[in-house]
Amino acid sequence: MALALQTFATVKDANAALKAQGTRYLGGGTLVVRAANEGDVSVSGLVTSTEPSLSTIAVAGDKVRIGASVTMATIAGHPELGTLAKAARAVGGPAIRNMATVGGNLFAPAPYGDFAVALLALDATVSTDSGETPIETFLANRDGSRAVVTSVNFTLPKADSFRFLKVSRVKPKGVSVLSIAAVLQQAPDGTVSAARIALGCMADRPMRARAAEKALIGRSLTKDGIAPALAAASDGTWPITDPIASAWYRNEVLPVHLGRLLLA
């Protein structure tokens, strides 16, 4: 069976077409076309939708809705999403960013999917035609996910509370050794009152560093203050081993980079 593309005006029709065996949704092509090029013959039908809402960004106050087909380049250049520009720019080179979509990034296996790490730290929700799912639940179940993702939704953090770091071996950029995103709230005395930390490449998909988050509460962002969080950074990680780095290496350097992110 050759590869065939079906394009639908509505997500509803695309969802109906995706019920057929051997079909996959085509976003920017950076995952699905790549797989086909590499000889993955399990997919014979590609389905895509041109529904306009998939390509729009809506910002109302601090509430943000990004359509699933919005590209990394669009996010990086959006005047109201400057906080997230660094995370969007972390994905690929310029050509990839013109193609890779926010919806696709949710499915990108480690070492890819740096933007999804940011979305996890933002505690986003993922929308399909059947409703909204917390991103952590969505990521956990993504392998069986069939419905077209329509948008991601989140509350925009204050600029100084969101931090993002991608670590690569190649400059200016390359594939991730790991990536870290954090949303930190600080009490007036500077101690951390709430923390969400998400890690990329520390498992086969983005994961929360819950032990480190817990260890930060009530602590100041100083070398001594973050020490317990760094000690707990690798709790529950199951890093990938790939040509970029071994699992051992990723676990070894995670506390170093988390420390740099927290002290930045």
Q: Which of these ranges, 91-99, 127-135, 179-187, 196-204, lies near other proteins under the rule CB under 8 A?
A: 91-99
Shortest Cβ 108–other proteins spacing (Å): 11
Instruction: Examine residue 61 and tell whether it contacts other proteins (CB under 8 A).
Output: no
Q: Exactly one of 57, 85, 99, 221 binds other proteins (CB under 8 A); which one?
A: 99
Reference 97, options 85, 110, 79; nearest CA is: 85
Q: Terminal CA-to-CA distance of the chain, rounded, Å?
A: 53
Instruction: Examine residue 206 and tell whether it contacts other proteins (CB under 8 A).
Output: no
Q: What is the DSSP string of 38-70?
A: TT-TT--EEEEE--GGGG-EEEETTEEEEETT-
Instruction: Examine residue 5 and tell whether it contacts other proteins (CB under 8 A).
Output: yes
Measured from the CB atom, the residue of 179 and 237 that comes closer to other proteins is 179
Other beta carbons within 10 angstroms of residue 37's beta carbon come to 10
Instruction: Examine residue 96 and tell whether it contacts other proteins (CB under 8 A).
Output: yes
Instruction: Examine residue 39 and tell whether it contacts other proteins (CB under 8 A).
Output: yes
What are the residues binding other proteins (CB under 8 A)?
1-5, 26, 28-30, 33-34, 36-39, 41, 46, 48, 73, 92-96, 98-99, 172-173
